[in-house]
Amino acid sequence: MSPWIDKLKYGLESLLDLLYPPLCLACSGRIETSGDVLCLSCRSLTVPTGQHMQKDNEFVRHFEGRVPVAAGAALYYYVSGGVVSALIGQIKYRGRKDLAYKLGLYYGEQLRESPLFHGTELIIPVPLHPLREKKRGYNQSLEFARGLAESMQIQVEEDVIGRKRHTETQTARDRSHRAQNMQDVFILKNPEKITNRQILIVDDVLTTGATLDGCASVLLQAGPAQIRMATIAMGY
């Protein structure tokens, strides 16, 4: 889609939000606090990490000694069976890409206020394998990235990294082996676009860190000035 159509679409969406106030992303109930994405009761069942205001946090520590991460943060902690895991399920398996976009808009407002994220120039969503994206109809990380980009007033760059082949099941692999394996699935496409730029790599969930690690390691070859990372959720 052209940026012009995107702008028009998001403009219309904001107008609709005025006419029809947004509902809780998790339960579709009324939102009591303006500017929030969840109602009070759903919010009480989530745990925001607050990591965007902490330079040294457990998100960043996932990548210690592997990738230099200037700042990293997840919006929520992910608990199996909880509100956030239900949101992620809707986003990944129920076609609700709009939820990823709205969470991006919401989190972007917070990242924009964080000195740790100041200076970010480009947002790079972790690509899905083309076959999986075709099946799902979208890349949820790109939708989240678009929301972030809108709030942070920076650009999404989709054309610097792609995926080579389907990722194998990795349960039996150790962490370093897995990271190496993930590095092999990504391919750098237009390195000059990020050379000396401050980039923000975006994924949906941080679990072992292998995906973001692999993606960042490949992007590092292009010589970005700084790497930051953000996800919707991370495991406890």
Task: Report residue 38 as tokens.
Answer: 């969840």
> Rule CB under 5 A: is residue 115 a binding residue for Zn ion?
no
With contacts defined by CB under 5 A, how many residues of the chain interact with Zn ion? Answer: 6
> Rule CB under 5 A: is residue 26 a binding residue for Zn ion?
yes
Of 26 and 205, which has the nearer Cβ to Zn ion? Answer: 26
What would the x/- binding string for Zn ion be over residues 29 to 48, using CB under 5 A? x---------x--x------
Task: Please state the length of the chain.
Answer: 236
Span near Zn ion by CB under 5 A; candidates 26-34, 107-115, 151-159, 177-185: 26-34
> Rule CB under 5 A: is residue 87 a binding residue for Zn ion?
no
With DSSP H G I counted as helix, E B as strand and the rest as coil, what are the percentages for the chain, rounded to 5? 45, 20, 40
Q: Is 200 helix (H, G, I), strand (E, B) or coil?
A: strand
Considering only CA atoms, give the Rg of the chain. 17
> Rule CB under 5 A: is residue 24 a binding residue for Zn ion?
yes
Of 42 and 123, which has the nearer Cβ to Zn ion? Answer: 42
209: left (phi over 0), alpha (psi -120 to 50) or beta: left
Span near Zn ion by CB under 5 A; candidates 27-35, 104-112, 178-186, 188-196: 27-35
Q: How many angstroms from the chain centroid is the CA of residue 40?
A: 24
> Rule CB under 5 A: is residue 69 a binding residue for Zn ion?
no
Binding residue (CB under 5 A) for Zn ion from 6, 13, 22, 27: 27
- How far apart CA 186 and CA 184 sit, in angstroms, is 6
- How far apart CA 223 and CA 52 sit, in angstroms, is 24
Torsion of CA 50, 47, 76, 98, to 10 degrees: -120
> Rule CB under 5 A: is residue 222 a binding residue for Zn ion?
no
Residues in contact with Zn ion by the rule CB under 5 A: 24, 26-27, 29, 39, 42
